Amino acid sequence: MTTAKDLFTIATDPGSKNSVGQGDLSLALAGAELIDLIGAEAVGVDGDRIVPGVPSGPDDQLMGEAAAALVRQAPYERIEDWLWRRGRDLSAAYQRALEEAGELTPKSGGRLSFGSERVEPADTPARRRAADRWERREPVLTALASIVGIDGEHPDAEPGPDAEPGPDAEPGPDAEPGFDDDAVTTVVAIVHDAVMELEAVRQRRSIENAAFANLWRGP
């Protein structure tokens, strides 16, 4: 599976402690897709912009959609803009895809809930591979999971150097030759900033709603 599918699988693991917001996860999934496209040399990163690379036709449907959605005209798209555009409702898209593939099953106590339905990973080879990457603390998967608060990490803490890929980091099973660590680090940092921005929007709306309710209640 892809890094994004592995991340979604980890996010729905009933053994994890913290719940994951759909918006946070959608942004991280978009980042995971971009990182896999970097690994496949389908894109590069120039500053904070996504530069199209070697055209590719990923076997994975969602990754194919991500590749097709790339902006291929200069000045190209900023990574942050990609996260917000591609990430819109992306967690729901991954849930549908994994359910159709038999990778998710209904569960009354699952961690992610869309409407009244809760899900957890089915016991499949793909799920076991995702779990193996997680247990080995594969750097990219660990960093993205930390950003959305999985495994007890709070999203307002910057991923530390042990969580981010470095020159000597062992590549995960989905890594491709030519993996650009600087580009991946840039993407991870921008995913973190986007999740923090989303949290700031939530807090602002909560304050505004509370103030509005107090206004109507009166003195």
Q: Sorting pLDDT into bands at 50, 70 and 90, what band is 210?
A: low
Contact present, 147 and 155 (Cβ < 8 Å)? yes
User: Phi, psi at residue 171, to the nearest 5°?
Assistant: -70, 145
- Greatest mean pLDDT range, 44-48, 150-154, 174-178, 213-217: 44-48
The pTM of this model reads 0.79
The structure tokens listed for 217 are 């209640």
Better-scored residue on pLDDT, 36 or 214: 36
Q: How many angstroms separate the CA atoms of 76 and 53, rounded?
A: 12
Domain hosting 25: range is 3-217
Give the position of tokens 């917001």. Answer: 21
Q: How many angstroms separate the CA atoms of 25 and 31, rounded?
A: 10
% residues pLDDT > 70 (the chain): 74
Q: Sorting pLDDT into bands at 50, 70 and 90, what band is 127?
A: very high
User: Which of 16-25, 50-59, 164-173 is predicted with the least confidence, judged by mean pLDDT?
Assistant: 164-173
Taking alpha carbons only, the member of 103, 97, 107 closest to residue 126 is 103
Please determine, for residue 111, whether its predicted confidence score (pLDDT) is greater than 80: no
Model pLDDT, residue 215: 61
pLDDT in tens, 48-100: 999 999 877 778 999 999 999 999 999 999 999 999 999 999 999 999 999 99
Q: How many angstroms separate the CA atoms of 51 and 101, rounded?
A: 32
Model pLDDT, residue 89: 93
Model pLDDT, residue 139: 92
Instruction: State the average pLDDT for the chain.
Output: 80
For the chain, how many structural domains are there in total? 1
pLDDT in tens, 23-61: 999 999 999 999 999 999 999 999 999 999 987 777 899
Reduced to 3 states, what is the DSSP secondary structure of residue 44?
Answer: strand
Q: Long-range CB contacts (< 8 A, 24+ apart) of 195-202?
A: 195/24, 195/27, 195/28, 195/147, 195/148, 195/155, 196/155, 196/156, 198/21, 198/23, 198/24, 198/27, 199/24, 199/155, 199/156
Model pLDDT, residue 218: 56
Q: How many angstroms separate the CA atoms of 219 and 217, rounded?
A: 7
Supply the Cα-derived Rg of the chain in whole angstroms. Answer: 18
